[in-house]
Amino acid sequence: MKRALILALALLATPALAVDPEDRLADPAQEARAREISRDLRCLVCAGQTVDDSSAPVARALRKMVRERIAAGDSDAEVLEAVAARYGEYALLKPRFDSKNLALWLGPFFVLGLGGLGAFHFIRNARAPVDAPALSEAEREALAKLDD
């Protein structure tokens, strides 16, 4: 019974083979390239998975498109460009560094810098001595009466 439970858990823990055998390329080098490119593409339906891991119909269409482009002789960059042109920049798991994505790439550093400046000013102002105004004669007399 324990062995059956362990086997069942092991089968559930392994990722499903999403690539259909009939979709594979005959050339092992081209198939390896297709798998590598598919790991760099996001499934448009299941946002957290790569195209290589997903079994959604859209992911299958993307895998098929990648294999067709590779079989046609496209380079890896050309395949990624074709996918981005057809499905948008969101399909790329790692967005490109260009003017459209500048805020995406530099935004975290900008926010971190603003937070650092804010912390610096807060700490500097917290340590600065506070200049108290001088007491008037009436205030000094009132203070002296309290001490008595």
Residue with tokens 């459209």: 100
Residue pLDDT, tens place only, 42-64: 888 887 788 888 888 888 888 88
Of 1 and 17, more confident? 1
What's the pLDDT band for 11 if we cut at 50, 70, 90?
very low
What's the pLDDT band for 77 if we cut at 50, 70, 90?
confident
Q: What is the pTM of this model?
A: 0.56
Residue pLDDT, tens place only, 91-135: 888 877 777 778 888 899 999 999 999 999 998 888 767 777 888
- The architecture of the domain spanning 15-96 is Orthogonal Bundle (1.10)
CA–centroid distance for 124 within its chain: 34
Residue pLDDT, tens place only, 12-47: 444 444 555 556 666 778 888 888 888 888 888 887
Q: How far is 59 from 41, CA to CA, in rounded Å?
A: 9
Q: What are phi and psi of 43, to 5 degrees?
A: -70, 130
Q: How far is 25 from 138, CA to CA, in rounded Å?
A: 96
Q: Taking a C-beta distance cutoff of 8 angstroms, is the pair 45, 54 a contact?
A: yes
Q: How far is 20 from 63, CA to CA, in rounded Å?
A: 10
Residue with tokens 């079994």: 55
